[in-house]
Structure 1
C-alpha cells in the first residue's frame, strides 16, 4: 500500500463505494441537464458530487483523481454561476471528465485489492481541454456587492485568530461567501492513538475551502498541582468558506472522537449588533462532543456496509443449515413409524415438534439473509441511459429510454451477472431494432424511437424485459439465413412456426447483420446472452412483430443459492425440476397420448401439448416399465423460453427446497443438467435445466 497516503485499506474501500454512488448520480443528472440546461438544482447537485470526490481523493492522497475532479469542479462552478454557457462541447467534456474519473477510481480499486493491472491513463490533455474551455467560455463575473461594510466580530473562542485569518474571513464575507469558524478542543486521550489532529485540516476539503488555520495555545493553568502533562494544550481553529449545508458539515466532523468541536457562522456586523447577539456564543446544536450523538443523528448509523464476500459466506452457512434441517426431517419421518407404541414414541413426537420449529426458524433465517442480499434493479438500470445516449449519437438515431419497475429487487449476485446480457440486448435494440429517423417518419412513426426497460416480480422469479418499437424481426429473413448457414433444412424451416423461427437468433454464430458496426452485428452475441442467462438458472425469449418492434424477456430466480423444486423419479434416480418452470402436474391416461410424426402429444384442455419421456431426453438406458403405467402417465408441464411441453416421469416425489451446488467440471457439460443438490438421506440429486430439456426435445423431433 506504499502507493497510497494512508495505510488502512478500509478508507479506500469506503471511497470506492461512495465514488461509484456519486458517478451514477452524476451521469443521471447530466442526462437530465441536457434536457433542462438551465436547471440550477441539477448543476448544484453535480457540483456537490464532484466536490465530494475531489475532497475525499485529496484526503486519501489520490492526486490524479483530485486534479481531474478539481478542474471539472471549476467548470461546473462557472456553469452554475452563469459565467459559462452549457454548450454541446462543454457537455461532452464533462462526460469525458466523469469517464476519466471512473478509470482513475477503478485503478485505485485494482491497486487496493491487488487484482489485475491498472490502466494508469494520462489526464493531462483532458485537463488542458477543460482549462482552455474555461478560459474561452468565461464571461466577466458579475460584481457582487459586499454583504455589509461592518466590522468582523469573532466569538470568544476565536478571539485570538491572527490578523491574516480575520482578513481572509472579511474578504470572503464581502464577496458574499458563507464563512464559518470552527474551534476544535482536543482531549488528552488522543495520546497513544493513531489519530492525527492535523487531519482535521484535510477534512475541510469535503465541505468547503480552507481560508485560514491556526494552532492556538490554551491559557496556562494557574494551579500547577492540577496541571496534566498528558493533556493536549493546543486548540485547532479554522476559518472556512462553506460550500455544503451546515447539516453536511456537522456530519463530516461529527465522526471525530476525543474532541469537542464548535461551529460559528461569521458575518460582518456593527459592534452593537454583535453585542446584542451575545457575542458569538455557539448555538447548542452546533456543538459536538466526543462519544455523544443527538437523537436526530440516529438515522445516520442505521446503515452499515457489508462486503459481498461476507454475504456469500453467510449464504453458504444458511444453505448448509437448510441441508441439515432436511436431514433431520428425513430422520424424523423414518423414526416415528418404527417407534410407534414404544416408550420412545413420546420422545419421537417431541423431536418431530422440534423439527417443525427448526424448519420454521430456518425459513425465517433464509428469508432474512435473502432480504439482505436483495438490491433494486435500478442499480443496473441506471447504467443504461448514458450508454443508450452515446449509441444514439454515434448512429445518428434518436432514442428515448423509459424505465419501469426500477425498485424491483433481486439477489445482488444475480444482478452483477445480468449486466452483460442486458448490454447486448440494448445494443441490439439500438442497432438492429430502432430505425433511422427518416425511415421511421416514412413508415408513419415518430422520428424518436423508444426503448423500454421493465422489471417485475412473478412468483419466485424476476422478469426483465427490453422492448423497442423498431422494425421487428422478420421470420422470412431468419429462415433464409438459417438455411444458408446449414442450421435448418428448407423443409424444416418451412414447417416451423414463426415464433420458433425467431428463436433461431439465439443459435451460436447466427447473425443477420449486413455489415459489422461498432455497436453490434459481429455474429457473436445472442447465443452468449442465452448461455449467460442459463448460468443464472434463468431463461431468455423473444416476441416480435414486423414493423412494430420486439420484446426480449429474461426470467430469473430471485436467488441462485436455494430454490423451490419439484422432485421427480425417472428410472432409479431422483431429479429436481426448478419450481419456477413447473406449470402443473398431471396423470394422463395412456390411451390419450397421440403420435404426431416423430413426437408424442396430449390434449390439454383443448391445446395440443407435445410430451417426451425424461429417460429419452437424458439418453438413459433404464427401460420403460409399462406395468407401472397402467394407471396413467405422470406428466410435468414445464415452460421455458416462451415454449411449453410435457415431461413424462415415472413418479412425482414431493416439492422441496434444494440448495444448488455446482457440478464438477467433468460433469458440467451434461445436457439438460444445471446443478446438483444434497438430500436429507445424504444422497445427491441432479437439478434439471428446463430450457435445455425443451431444446433437446426439439432436436429429438427433427
Structure 2
C-alpha cells in the first residue's frame, strides 16, 4: 500500500466511517438486485456508492482502492446502461470486488490506527477478470448501439441552436457507448464587477468529463440596433461533454456557479426532444438555488474515544452525586434543632436537584451512545447467502426490530456471538432441500432475527425452522465425551440437557465443515455474552426448529443494581438478573439430594448461601427474622441466593477489576459507593455455575 497522501489522519477516519456505511448499503442492494436483476434504481444506488468510494480514495491517494473501485464502477455503469447482462458470474465478481474493497479499506484502518498488520492483497487479477467480462458484455450488447446509431441526435429546446459539428461530436460519442451530456449556461448581468470569468466553465468540465464541443448561441434575433443594451448578455454558452461522472456529480459542480442559470441535459440517440425537455427543466437551477438546497446537516460524527471519555466523566459525576447524597443523609438528622439545620435543608434540596440533573446528563450521553441493531443485522443477509450457497441449501432471512437501540460498546461485541449462532442455524439447524421436502416442509428454510426492548434490557433472538436439537443425541454425546455419567444424563430434564451444547468442546457434528462442527463456537457464545453481563439460552423442538435468545443490558457503564449484605460485606447484583426478593422462614429450607431448596409458590427452587458460593470464611448472620433470598435468573435457569440482608436498589458505575482480582469466582467488576467504599459486582451466570458445582 502506498504511503498516505495527507498528514491529517482525520481525513482517513472520515473515509473509513463513510466507506463502511457504503459497503453495508452496497451489500443490501446487491442482495435485492439478485431478486430483481433489472431494477435500475438499485443499480444506480450501487453505482453511486462505489463512485463515492472511488472518489474519496483518489483524493486520499489510496491507489489500490481507487483502481479496483474504478473498474467495478465501469461494470456497474455498463449494467445500468444495458451494455452488459447481469448473470451469476457477473454477480459473483461484483461480490468479490466489494469483499476485496473491504479488505483494502480495512488495511487503511490498520495503518491509520497502527493496530495489527495489513493484508495488502493484490487486486490486479480481479481487475483483469472484471475487464474480461466488460469486453464480453460489450460484444454481446454491440447490436444495441449499432441500432441506435441509425438515428440522429435529438436535442432539447435549449440546445436546438447547436450546429452540425456539435451534433456530430455528440452522436459519435454516443455510438461508442459513451455518456454524453449537454450543458446550457445563461449568464446574468450581475457578473459584471465580480471576479468570475465565464471561461472558467470550460475548466469545470475537466472535473466531470471531457469537452467535445462548445458554442455561443444567440438568445434571440437582433431586430433593432437602437434597443441594443451593451451590458446585457445576448449569447448563451452551450457545451457538449463526454461525462465521466454521474449526473448528480455534474449538477453539484455546476450548481455552485453564481450569476448564471446552468441547465444539465442528458443526450441520447433515438430519443425525443419533447421527452427530454420536462426532465431538463426540473434540473435547471441557479447558484442561489443550489446553496439553498444544500441545507445544514443535523448530524455530526464524534469519535468513539471522545464518547468513552464523556461517559467516564458522567460516571464520575454519578459517583460524586452518590457521595453527596450519602453525606446529606448523615448530616440532616444530626443538625435538627441546630442553627445549621436551615443550611442542611437547603443542601438536601440542592442534592435532589443535582440528582435530577445528573440523571438527565446520564440519559443524554446514553442516548448519544445508542445505535440501532440494524448496524449489525445488516451484515447477516450477505453472510447467510454465502453460507447457503456453500452448503447447497436454500435459506431465507427475515429481520424484525432492526431499529431497536443498544449501547455502541455492546453492539460491537455482539457480532461474534451472533455469527456463531447464525452459522449454527445454517449448518446444524436448516436441513437440505431434499430432506425438508421429505419431512413435509418447504424446501426453503427460514432464519429469523428479532430484537426488542424488555425493561432495561435488549433481547435478540435467532430462530430457525430446521430440525431442532434432539435431547437424546445430546445425552449420548455427553456420556460419550465423559461430561456426564449415564445415570446423571438420564435424570436431567430435556431443557437442561439441551443447555449442554454450550459446554466447551461439545459438538454433535458428524464431520468438520467450513461452516461449523469444529467443537468450538457455542461455548464462545456464552463466554462472550457473559462478558457483556448478559445471558444466552435456547429453546428447541425436534423437527420444528430452535430459538436462541440473547439478553443484554442496554449499557455496560452504569447499571441498576440490588445491594445486598453477606458476611459483613456489601455486594451488588445486576438488576437485570434479579427476578424478586423475599423473606422465608428458616424452617422452610429443605434438602433436595445434595442441594438446599425452598418451596416458592409450588415450585421447588434450589438455593445457596452467597457466603458459601464465594468461599467466604465470615460467620453467618442470625436468621431469627427469616432468610433473605434473592431469586436470580441467567441463561434460562433460576436459583435463590441467601444473603444476610437487603440494602437498597441503586445505580452503580461499573469499574473493571485489577488483574490480580479478575479471576475471583462469581465477581464481574466493582463500584465506588457514596461513602468511598468499594463494592464487588456479582456475576449471576457464574453464581449459577458455582451452585451446580457445589451440588455435585
TM-score by length of 2: 0.86
- Closer/same/farther in 2, CA of residues 329 and 263 from structure 1, 3 Å limit: farther
Distance 1:512 1:388 in 2: 21
Query: Do the aligned partners of 2:557 and 2:654 also contact (CA within 8 Å) in 1?
Result: yes
Alignment correspondent of 1:528: 524
Q: Distance in 2 between matches of 1:287 and 1:497?
A: 74
The whole-number CA distance in structure 2 between the counterparts of 1:29 and 1:283 is 26
* Counterpart check, 1:701 vs 2:695: yes
Kindly state the Cα deviation for residue 63 of structure 1 after the two structures are TM-superposed.
Answer: 2.0
- In the alignment, is the contact (CA less than 8 A) between 1:180 and 1:240 conserved in 2? no
Q: Distance in 1 between matches of 2:98 and 2:41?
A: 19
**2:640 aligned partner:** 646
Which of 625, 628, 634 in structure 1 is aligned with 2:621? 625
Residue 598 of structure 2 contacts residue 605 of structure 2 at CA under 8 Å; is this kept in 1? yes
* Alignment partner, residue 474 of structure 2: 478
Match of 2:495 among 483, 499, 511: 499
**Distance across 1 between alignment mates of 2:685 and 2:471:** 21
Answering whether residue 100 of structure 2 is matched by residue 100 of structure 1, we say yes
> Aligned to 2:447, what secondary structure does the other structure show?
strand
Q: Does 1:677 align with 2:676?
A: no
Is the Cα contact below 8 Å between 1:59 and 1:202 reproduced in 2?
A: no
Structure 1 contact 468–551 (Cα < 8 Å) conserved: yes
Distance 2:192 2:468 in 1: 69
**Shift of residue 211 of structure 1?**
3.7
Determine the C-alpha separation between the residues in 1 that align with 2:307 and 2:391: 42
Aligned to 1:659: 653
Find the partner of 2:154 among 148, 158, 179: 148
Change beyond 3 A, Cα 1:267–1:569: closer
Deviations 1:77-134 (A, max 9, x none): 2222222222111111111111111111112222222322221111111111111111
1:40 corresponding residue in structure 2: 40
- Aligned match of 1:91: 91
Aligned to 1:566: 562
Q: Which of 432, 437, 440 is matched with 2:436 structurally?
A: 440
1:418 paired with 2:400, answer: no
Q: Deviations over 1:479-518 (max 9, x none)?
A: 1222222222222111111111111111111111111110
The CA deviation string for residues 296-334 of structure 1, in whole angstroms up to 9 with x for no partner, is: 533x42111111111111111111100010010001101
- The 1:377/1:113 distance shift into structure 2, 3 A limit, reads same
- CA distance in 1 between counterparts of 2:49 and 2:185 reads 23
Paired residues of 1:675 and 1:687 also in contact (CA < 8 A): yes
Is 2:182–2:240's contact at 8 Å kept on the other side of the alignment?
A: no
**1:40–1:319 distance in 2 versus 1, CA, 3 Å:** same
Change (3 A) 1:659 1:182: farther
Q: Deviations over 1:232-257 (max 9, x none)?
A: xxxxx9967385455x6666788x8x
Match of 1:403 among 393, 399, 419: 399
Q: CA deviation at 1:151?
A: 9.9
The answer as to whether partners of 2:474 and 2:508 remain within 8 angstroms in 1 is yes
After superposition, residues 188-587 of structure 1 pair within 5 angstroms as 204=207, 209-211=209-211, 241=243, 244=246, 263-265=262-264, 285-288=285-288, 293-294=291-292, 296-298=293-295, 300-587=296-583
Deviation at 1:398, TM superposition (A): 0.8
Partner of 2:660, secondary structure, is: coil
What residue is the counterpart of 1:179 in the other structure? 182
Deviation at 1:16, TM superposition (A): 1.5
Q: Compare 167-176 and 502-511 and name the one that shifted more.
A: 167-176
Equivalent pair of 2:5/2:61 in contact (CA under 8 Å): yes
2:228 aligns with none
Q: How many pairs are equivalent? A: 651
Whole-Å separation in 1 of the counterparts to 2:580 and 2:455: 14
Q: Work out the CA distance in 1 between the residues paired with 2:266 and 2:682.
A: 73
Q: Distance in 1 between matches of 2:568 and 2:49?
A: 62
- Do 2:565 and 2:571's aligned partners in 1 also have CA atoms closer than 8 Å? yes
Q: 1:551 to 1:189 in 2, by over 3 A?
A: farther
CA contact (8 A) 1:472 1:545 kept: yes
Cα 1:111/1:93, change in 2 over 3 Å = same
SS at match of 2:659: coil
Structure 1 distance, partners of 2:2, 2:542, is 60
Q: How far apart, in 2, do the equivalents of 1:76 and 1:244 lie?
A: 12
1:688 to 682, 687, 693: 682
Secondary structure in 1 matching 2:661: coil
* Contact 1:460–1:557 (CA under 8 A) maintained in structure 2: yes
Measure how far apart 1:430 and its partner are: 0.6
Query: For each residue in 1:384-424, what CA deviation from the matched residue of structure 2 results, as whole angstroms up to 9, or x when unmatched?
Result: 11111111101111111111111100011110111011101
Shift of 1:561: 0.3
2:370, 2:408 within 8 Å by CA — same for their partners in 1?
yes
**Contact kept? 2:51, 2:69, Cα under 8 Å:** yes
Q: Give the aligned partner of residue 63 of structure 2.
A: 63
Contact 2:456 2:576 in 1 (8 A): yes
Mapped partners of 2:30, 2:691: distance in 1 = 50
Mark the runs of 5 or more structure 1 residues left unpaired by the alignment: 191-196, 215-236
Query: How far 1:58 sits from its partner (Å)?
Result: 2.2
Match of 2:581, SS state, is strand
The answer (yes or no) to whether the contact 2:372–2:405 under 8 Å persists in 1 is yes
State the distance in 2 between where 1:128 and 1:3 align.
25
Cα distance in 2, alignment partners of residues 646 and 202 from structure 1: 75
Distance 1:469 1:151, change over 3 A: closer
CA distance in 2, matches of 1:523, 1:94: 34
Mapped to 2, the partners of 1:187 and 1:390 lie a distance apart of: 63
The aligned residue for residue 112 of structure 1 is: 112
Matches within 5 A, 1:597-612: 597-612=593-608
Deviation at 1:550, TM superposition (A): 0.9
TM-score for the superposition, normalised by structure 1: 0.85
User: For 1:600-639, what per-residue CA distance to the aligned partner results, in whole angstroms no more than 9, with x for missing partners?
Assistant: 212222222111111111111112233xx11111111111
How far the C-alpha of 1:555 sits from its partner, in A, is 0.6
Structure 1 pair 186/121, CA: closer, same or farther in 2 (3 Å)?
farther
- Alpha-carbon spacing, 1:670–1:134, altered in 2? closer, same or farther (3 Å): same
Q: Distance in 2 between matches of 1:376 and 1:662?
A: 26
Provide the C-alpha distance between the structure 2 equivalents of 1:187 and 1:373, rounded to a whole number of angstroms: 51
Residue of structure 1 aligned with 2:629, choices 626, 635, 653: 635
Q: What's the RMSD between the two structures over aligned residues?
A: 3.6
- For structure 2, which runs of at least 5 residues remain unmatched after alignment? 215-238, 268-272
Q: What residue in structure 2 maps to residue 227 of structure 1?
A: none
Using the alignment, how far apart are the partners of 1:173 and 1:136 within structure 2?
Answer: 19
Kindly provide the CA deviation profile for residues 38-79 of structure 1, in whole angstroms up to 9, marking residues without a partner as x: 222211211121122222222322222122112112222222
